[in-house]
Amino acid sequence: MKLLLRKIHTQLYRFSVAFFYMLVWPVRYYLKQKPERFKYINGVRRFIIRCSTFISGITFKTSYEVPIDWSRTYIIVGNHTSNLDISAINLSAKNNHVFIGKEELKKNLVLGYFFRTIDLTVNRESKISSFRVFKHAAEKLKQGISVVMFPEATIPLVYPPTLSEFKNGAFRLAIELKIPILPVTSVDTWKVYWNTGSQYGSRPGICHIFVHKPLETAHLTMDDADTLRDEVYETIKKKLGIA
């Protein structure tokens, strides 16, 4: 019975996302016509998230280790255990930002719109695609747009999810461009909505998000990339309470 209710809730959540996505079609169409309007698309995304999660009883509570200067540009890195992680970071990050995600997301009804307009996609099987996406990410950062990456690259398939090893692309890019890293821990989004929701479903609840203090990279060299990666990994791991 509990699993059935969670699966019903998953369908309610998905329906609410699709409903509000279609509701803002005129706005989406207007913004998509010219690239200079793309900076407003994150506002549309926040509207859809806030409305759909309200209807389905999902809320986000964000805590900050220190006050964040949102006028600065960051490479935002977080752990990835739920499809709610994108929503969590979108609401927690108060500046203009784009996500990097897998190429298949372009086919998603809702996410596809954002990954065809402001967000960046990568084919994980192609080194050329990886090179291109980091080049595009660098261009965004130079324009003052923060970039959000999940260095685990994918959602773990085990339940409860673990913290997988981090890839070092985000950290090398941060050092190359002297952009601070902003770690974000999604503490328990997986408890509310795990993966696609098909196996364990979803439920109303509070998702706790923790934004750590920024890590400066201006004094680092490429030789420090692995050390920076490991520092962020341990920071998020500690917040998750993983031994």
Provide the residue ranges of all domains of the chain, joining segments of one domain with +: 58-240
Q: What is the pTM of this model?
A: 0.93
pLDDT score at 195: 64
Give the three-state DSSP class for 196: coil
pLDDT in tens, 61-114: 999 999 999 999 999 999 998 989 999 999 999 999 999 998 998 999 899 999
User: Which residue do the tokens 């070092």 mark?
Assistant: 168
Q: Is the pLDDT of residue 243 over 60?
A: no
* Three-class SS state of 122: strand
**Predicted local distance difference test score (pLDDT) of residue 39:** 87
Residues 189-242 have pLDDT tens digits of 999 997 654 567 899 999 999 999 999 999 999 999 999 999 999 999 999 987
**Each residue's pLDDT tens digit, 105-125:** 899 989 999 999 999 999 878
Q: What is the pLDDT of residues 131-162, one digit of tens each?
A: 899 999 999 999 999 999 999 988 877 888 88
pLDDT in tens, 170-204: 999 999 999 999 999 999 999 999 765 456 789 99
Say how far apart CA 184 and CA 214 lie, in whole Å. 10
Report CA 89 to chain centroid distance, whole Å. 5
In whole angstroms, give the CA distance from residue 24 to residue 174: 35
Rounded-to-integer distance, Cα 220 and Cα 158, Å: 35
- For the domain bounded by 58-240, which CATH number is listed? 3.40.1130.10
172 vs 226: CA distance, rounded Å: 8
Alpha helices in 57-181 (DSSP H): 84-92, 111-115, 127-142, 169-177
